[in-house]
A and B are shown apart, each in its own frame.
Chain A
Amino acid sequence: MRIIVAIKQVPETKSVKMDEKTGTVIREGVEAIVNPLDLYAIETAIELRETFSSLVARRTGHESRVTSHGARTCAARTENAGTSEVIGISMGPPKAVTALREAIAMGFDSGVLVSDSAFAGSDTWATSYILAEAIKRIGDFSLVICGERATDGDTGQVGPGIASFLDLPVVSYVSKIELIGGLKPTLRVNRLVEDGYEVLSCSLPCILTVVKEVSVPRLPTLRGKQRAKRTEIPVWGRDDLDVDLSKVGVNGSPTRVVKIFRPKVTRQCEKVLAKDDESIKEAVDKLAHLYLRLLCR
């Protein structure tokens, strides 16, 4: 079972500052981190690999062969259903390689960086298209997992976008995943909706976007960090992927950023001096009215 996780490197939001004049984000000197919401996707993938391996071990009655990195990749290539691997994929500038290394330090088997000046400035549509092509090239996957959204763009569109380009089923806002069945499993997932969750059954391959509730990310260990440092991460550009260059980058993106501005925060303050029963009732009514208006928004 091969699981691919799409990871984005984002600026650390606490330290982000806005240029007051141009209204754009100042990226210089700002630390780049793994999109915090992708950490849950990373953890989920590692846990699924562990679950699947022990499931296989139980089925076949001997210890899982997932013992070393080498054994895993070889087996995957020969399409052995009993082994599993987790691969990270990220599109971004060359320095985004550190995001993939963090995933490997946490337990991923390998990573692929998709990076090319022709891809720079791609919107969510073009990004989904490029990532889908890269995922096709990795091939032979059972599952693609994404975080629910990135903390910088905040759109949540790329996960479902990839599914659309790959023409595969997608379940978004997944809060729980169960593997059902044996060597060719299906999934039973909980999907968060406004007033509870849906329980859905899903065949593989498919795409999931996961929310915080799905897992608790582990911390990278020293051994993991050292392994990540040694792991070579291939960089795929325009020549490595079967992409139509007229559909990528700033020019290929249907989205146009016309203007960026800071939303004006307006605060209205009203003081109510409630001294007797009647004015207290009036104040409570006012608060209830305000609350209802907030709910209806």
Chain B
Amino acid sequence: MEFFVRSEKKYNPVTPKIVDELKQIVGSRYVIYGDEEKLQPYSHDEVPGAEYAHMPEAVVRPGTAEEIAAIMKLANREMIPVTPRGAGSGLSGGAVPVCGGIVVLFDRMNKILELDRENMMIVVEPGVVTNEINEFLKEHGLFYAAYPMSLETCYIGGNVAENAGGAKAVKYGVTSRYVVGLDVVTPTGEIVELGGKLIKDVSGYNMVQLMVGSEGTLGLFTKITLKLLPLPKAQVDLLCLFKNIEEAIKAVPKIQTIGGIIPTSIEFMNKTAIKASCEYLNESIPYQQAGAMLLITVDGPDEQQIEREYESIGQLCLDAGAIEVYVADNATTSERIWKVRRNIGEAYNVISRRQSAEDIVVPPAAIPAMAAKLQELSDKYDVMIPCFGHAGDGNLHSRIVSQPWWSDEKWHKVLPKILDELYRLTAEVGGRISGEHGIGHKKKNYLPYVVSENYIDMLRTIKRAMDPNNILNPGKIFDL
């Protein structure tokens, strides 16, 4: 990936002498160096395609903020790029060391430090697997609401860095809503405490929220304070089959405007996505008739209320033309219908590994128009574009999947054309190219499609001020 290196400042290689220094900082057993096989797993995240991968020169696994600060001081002195890495489940290349150098791994910093029940907050280290937070909180009757779909593997630190969203965003919002405090190591190696156990705080710029979603370019998190909510006691899922996308999407705003209900999630699946997933799962629901599906979840503190809510949502959907509405109010049926949504990706992995997972976000009312355009693209370029995602918030996961018989060469020739058209269309309807995956280096070149040059300049100014040597995660979001 020569072009990445050339486009950034000249960096120095990691020499054995620097490795010795790293070993002194974190302990020799926590440095990986000189072993291709052991370094390889840290060269990529979940973005498919070798063209997005880049090998690190060394991987270090620090245990404290002080160790991370020392690593950053060393990296600035020696001009070596540093890329922070969570669980590597990202979808925009945020954790990929595109300029080589050092990868800082957070797997050792994986402790839940404090549950503050009085303040309904939890303090965790960045390497805690997100799902473990909720497993831990369950018995205390609390929960952390902003987890993404990859909750069983991803780290909370990565969630904060990418401002991860998820299926529950309609009601509960995304990660940023819950981060109230961050201990940060700056790109130059200073340790700073931002925010705290506060619901309101206006002491200066909102640095916590600047860090959330900074994609590892502005700071390394060493301690995260999250706001918690009472655990909902009842939950019901509805699977609604519609004849076509228009009818399905038209039902969505009615739930809130006519029904007066804010569902926890409103997931959407188009025909292509439904068919692949149901066939993959041997699911017996009559999916052949369905041109679109909505998966709607409601949750709350008591069963009677939830029953009223799901009945009125279900009725609204039937009135809006739904062919059938299935109800899942227990673990067995809930798992079964969520499987249809969760296995779309897996179903397409079986068809072809050559895919591009897109994460466009549009104003919710523009979903039918966007879905129609995606269908046009799919016909024009003869690719499969299953379209699924969060109808409630306009975040459409459209995955461009190659025909299995295509050559790599053909795929790489056609894909940029499709992306170019897709992102232009997104800009036309007032959308953005990423709702929750981030820009990383994967979508860097497309950012100017949807935001102004002045906006990107503002980002550059912040980055230069905080990271004068461009040491921390260079080559991401924009070129300096």
Q: Which of B274-293 contact A (CB under 8 A)?
A: 282, 284-285
Interface membership of B209, Cβ < 8 A: no
Contacts of A216 in B (CB 8 A): 282, 284
In the bound complex, what is the Cα–Cα distance between A105 and B328 (angstroms)? 11
Q: Which residue of A lies closest to B284 (CB)?
A: A216
Does B331 contact A220, Cβ atoms closer than 8 Å?
no
Interface membership of A15, Cβ < 8 A: yes
Q: Which residue of B lies closest to A29 (CB)?
A: B139
Contacts of A105 in B (CB 8 A): 327
Q: Which residue of B lies closest to A105 (CB)?
A: B327
In the bound complex, what is the Cα–Cα distance between A218 and B332 (angstroms)? 12
Q: Which of A177-228 contact B (CB under 8 A)?
A: 216, 218-222, 224-226
In the bound complex, what is the Cα–Cα distance between A218 and B327 (angstroms)? 11
Contact stretch, chosen from A30-38, A74-82, A113-121, A133-141 = A30-38
Does A220 contact B311, Cβ atoms closer than 8 Å?
no
Q: Which residue of A lies closest to B328 (CB)?
A: A219
In the bound complex, what is the Cα–Cα distance between A222 and B241 (angstroms)? 12
Contacts of B239 in A (CB 8 A): 219
Does A33 contact B332, Cβ atoms closer than 8 Å?
yes
In the bound complex, what is the Cα–Cα distance between A221 and B317 (angstroms)? 13
Interface size of A by CB at 8 A reads: 19
In the bound complex, what is the Cα–Cα distance between A119 and B312 (angstroms)? 39
Interface membership of B315, Cβ < 8 A: yes
Chain B nearest CB, measured from A270 CB (Å): 25
CB < 8 Å: which of A15, A222, A224 contacts B238?
A: A222
In the bound complex, what is the Cα–Cα distance between A36 and B285 (angstroms)? 18
In the bound complex, what is the Cα–Cα distance between A34 and B238 (angstroms)? 19
Interface membership of B119, Cβ < 8 A: no
Which bucket holds chain B's interface residue count?
20 to 34
Contacts of B329 in A (CB 8 A): 225
Contacts of B332 in A (CB 8 A): 12, 33-34, 36, 39
Contacts of A14 in B (CB 8 A): 331
Over the window 324-340 of chain B, the binary record of Cβ atoms lying under 8 Å from chain A Cβ atoms (1 yes, 0 no) is: 11111111110011000
Chain A nearest CB, measured from B131 CB (Å): 14
Does B327 contact A222, Cβ atoms closer than 8 Å?
yes
Contacts of B447 in A (CB 8 A): none
In the bound complex, what is the Cα–Cα distance between A276 and B337 (angstroms)? 52
Chain A nearest CB, measured from B332 CB (Å): 5
Does A220 contact B284, Cβ atoms closer than 8 Å?
no
Interface membership of A102, Cβ < 8 A: yes
In the bound complex, what is the Cα–Cα distance between A226 and B326 (angstroms)? 12
Does A222 contact B330, Cβ atoms closer than 8 Å?
no
In the bound complex, what is the Cα–Cα distance between A15 and B329 (angstroms)? 16
Does B337 contact A222, Cβ atoms closer than 8 Å?
no
Total A-B Cβ pairs within 8 A: 49
Q: Which of A245-263 contact B (CB under 8 A)?
A: none
Over the window 7-36 of chain A, the binary record of Cβ atoms lying under 8 Å from chain B Cβ atoms (1 yes, 0 no) is: 000001011000000000000000101101
In the bound complex, what is the Cα–Cα distance between A14 and B331 (angstroms)? 9
Over the window 295-338 of chain B, the binary record of Cβ atoms lying under 8 Å from chain A Cβ atoms (1 yes, 0 no) is: 00000000000000001001100100000111111111100110
Does B311 contact A226, Cβ atoms closer than 8 Å?
yes
Does B238 contact A218, Cβ atoms closer than 8 Å?
no
Does B333 contact A221, Cβ atoms closer than 8 Å?
no
Contacts of A226 in B (CB 8 A): 311
* Known contacts A216-B284, A226-B311: A221-B326 contact under CB 8 Å: yes
Contacts of A36 in B (CB 8 A): 332
Chain B nearest CB, measured from A147 CB (Å): 13
Contacts of B325 in A (CB 8 A): 221-222
In the bound complex, what is the Cα–Cα distance between A273 and B379 (angstroms)? 55
In the bound complex, what is the Cα–Cα distance between A39 and B311 (angstroms)? 23
Residue in B325, B327, B337 with the greatest tally of chain A CB atoms within 10 Å: B327
CB < 8 Å: which of B282, B285, B311, B318 contacts A219?
A: B285
Chain B nearest CB, measured from A160 CB (Å): 25
Does B327 contact A15, Cβ atoms closer than 8 Å?
no
Q: Which residue of A lies closest to B236 (CB)?
A: A225
Does A222 contact B315, Cβ atoms closer than 8 Å?
yes
In the bound complex, what is the Cα–Cα distance between A4 and B285 (angstroms)? 25
Residue in A31, A39, A222, A226 with the greatest tally of chain B CB atoms within 10 Å: A222
In the bound complex, what is the Cα–Cα distance between A264 and B332 (angstroms)? 29
Contacts of B311 in A (CB 8 A): 222, 225-226
In the bound complex, what is the Cα–Cα distance between A12 and B329 (angstroms)? 13
Which residues of B approach A to under 8 Å, CB–CB?
238-239, 282, 284-285, 311, 314-315, 318, 324-333, 336-337
Could you list 13 examples of A-B contacts with CB < 8 Å? A31-B330, A31-B331, A34-B330, A39-B332, A102-B330, A105-B327, A219-B239, A219-B333, A219-B337, A220-B328, A221-B325, A221-B327, A225-B329
Closest 7 pairs between A and B when the two form their complex, measured CB to CB: A222-B314, A222-B325, A219-B326, A216-B284, A12-B331, A225-B327, A33-B330
